[in-house]
Amino acid sequence: MNILYEGKAKRLYATEHDDELRMSFKDDATAFNGVKHAQLAGKGHLNKEITLLLYRELADAGIETHFLRELNDTDLLVRKVTIIPLEVVVRKVVAGSLAKRTGLAQGQTLDEPLVEYYLKDDALGDPMLAPAHIRALNLAQPDEVTAVTQQALVIFTHLETFFAQAGLRLVDLKLEFGRADGKILLADEISPDTCRLWDTETGEIFDKDRFRQDLGEVIEHYQQILERISPHAKRV
């Protein structure tokens, strides 16, 4: 079938319907903008399962996304959207680049969720943008930035509560949005590749930092995330 886009961890294929795409999850793991690369058998399947479960939770909470339905072990059917080239990061706990950039202590809880915007451009290293840059580069209209920010906060808060039931602390989360029929919809995946999840009690890392930091047992931890959240899913 016709590949429309190949990313580091997913491929998008055309379908028989112009407004629908097949999003296929690969076993590839990358970090530091593709500098570090490995094949992790089963990652595509696990990230597809986790994304599917989370998209269903959001749908049940009345949050509209690009998700349409499950296709097979590694693929989801999604609405075709025009991706806004921003990585929208919501943070509740200090980690990763926020700790490096600000000197705030890793693990410190922020008083309120922080929303940041990065340019989706690997060649430039996904630089952080202020809203003024988003306007200057004409990436999105101010009302779109407002909509994306509001949706990102609602989605984060909802998922934070959901993961808490499974004994997991949602530290931060990267989201991407797209335009379709005049609406802004959540797109892309929601998986341990795109968020940070720590055990609520012990602080054990369950997300892609296991790969980034060579902590080992990456797939085992992704599998445990799925096992921990599955009993809390409203739909199976």
Non-local (6+) Cβ contacts of 96 within 8 A are 172, 196, 209
Which one, of 168, 190, 195, 210, lies nearest residue 89 by Cα?
195
Closest distance between ligand TMP and the C-beta of residue 169, in Å?
Answer: 12
Q: Which does 173 bind (CB under 5 to 8 A by kind): ligand TMP, ligand ASP, none?
A: ligand TMP
| Residues in 54-113 that interact with ligand TMP by CB under 6 A | 89, 95-98
**Judging by beta carbons within 10 Å of its beta carbon (0-12, 13-18, 19+), is residue 102 exposed, middle or buried?**
exposed
Q: According to CB under 6 A, which one of 20, 64, 70, 126 is a site residue for ligand TMP?
A: 126
Q: Are 198 and 105 in contact (CB under 8 A)?
A: no
What are the residues whose beta carbons fall under 8 Å from the beta carbon of 100, sequence distance 6 or more? none
CB of 127 to ligand TMP, least distance (A): 11
Task: Kindly tell me which of 22 and 174 has the beta carbon lying closer to ligand TMP.
Answer: 174
- Catalog residues that contact ligand ASP under the rule CB under 6 A: 8, 30-34, 208, 212
Residue whose structure tokens are 């986790």: 50
Q: Is position 157 an interface residue for ligand TMP (rule: CB under 6 A)?
A: no
70 binds, options ligand ASP, ligand TMP, none, Cβ within 5 to 8 A by partner type: none
**Residue placing its CB nearer to ligand ASP in the complex, 20 or 28:** 28
Torsion of CA 97, 103, 106, 110, to 10 degrees: -90
The answer for 214, left when phi > 0, alpha when psi is -120 to 50, beta otherwise, is left
In the shown chain, the binding pattern of residues 175 to 214 toward ligand TMP, with x for contact by CB under 6 A and - for none, equals -------------------xxx------------------
**Min CB(92)–ligand TMP separation in Å:** 11
In one letter, which amino acid is 198?
Answer: W
Looking at beta carbons, which residue is closest to ligand TMP?
96
Residues at the interface with ligand TMP (CB under 6 A): 89, 95-98, 126, 172-174, 194-196
